Structure 1
């Protein structure tokens, strides 16, 4: 995060870790008593390319047996969202109701965002972060033959809505 980008929190910082019990053992959070609410989270990954690689990506010139770079990133990112609970310890398996990806080219950067929604007892921010991260990794994987000078510069939560609190990073 750049110096001038300040997160805006709708609540104070919690000093306890939700996945550690009173005996300091790792544990899954008990959500059995929580009410179901609409949950939404958006995350962003930014990929910096050398100019010659960016021209190919932006022009959708990179085709492989996997497909185009962007389409493959969408498919793989979607799979990652749905498998977050298998990858991240103590994440609950969720019934995902919506996954959307957007891609924007700016200078030599590809800015990709993943937005996830569900109606449930726990948030979807880990799913959005996982989707954005894996989509960025897929872009790297498909472009690395042209250059290893590709940098995933940022993966960040942009918005989390629903549940106890909302979070919005205003200037990211």
Structure 2
């Protein structure tokens, strides 16, 4: 029987009470691709709605803290650290790197993925008036540490061979 289903084959939140609390860290990445002019306006801090990356930073942090409210089977987690970094990959791309930490009985992968996703959506929201063709993604778990499965590092290969 899968752990997310009860004896009636209905969804349930997994019981993690038997697990040992350990330090857990997850890093997720997302990317927003846009027109070069849009990225220049973001870098110069001249977007009409304000400082795009500052707002995206706060939105990502808030999103990580609310993950259990958004995703039905996620456990509420006491996060011990949340950080977002923005890297300019090219004249058209911003990469969002979200790192979430906890000491607990379950991981923070969903919190990191939610932080990166909401930060990307916030960038889109703040810039859509001048660049509605922005593209978000890919978004993925880049690294995970802690827990029974130990260390995971994204290798760039997906199930379809990409």
Query: Could you state the TM-score of these two structures normalised by the residue count of structure 1?
Result: 0.85
Specify the alignment match of 1:83 in structure 2. Answer: 66
> Does structure 1 residue 53 correspond to structure 2 residue 38?
yes
Distance in 2 (alpha carbons) for counterparts of 1:159 and 1:22: 33
> Does structure 1 residue 109 correspond to structure 2 residue 82?
no
Corresponding residue pairs, total: 155
Residue by residue over 1:24-78, the C-alpha shift from the partner in whole angstroms, topping out at 9 and shown as x without a partner, is: 21000101111100000000010000121111112222252xx410000011111
Which consecutive unaligned segments of at least 5 residues does structure 1 have? 1-15
What is the SS of the residue equivalent to 1:97? strand
Which consecutive unaligned segments of at least 5 residues does structure 2 have? 158-162
Distance in 1 (alpha carbons) for counterparts of 2:38 and 2:113: 25
Pair 18,58 (structure 1): closer, same or farther in 2 beyond 3 Å: farther
> Of residues 124, 128, 144 in structure 1, which corresponds to 2:112?
128
Distance apart, 1:163 and its partner CA: 0.6
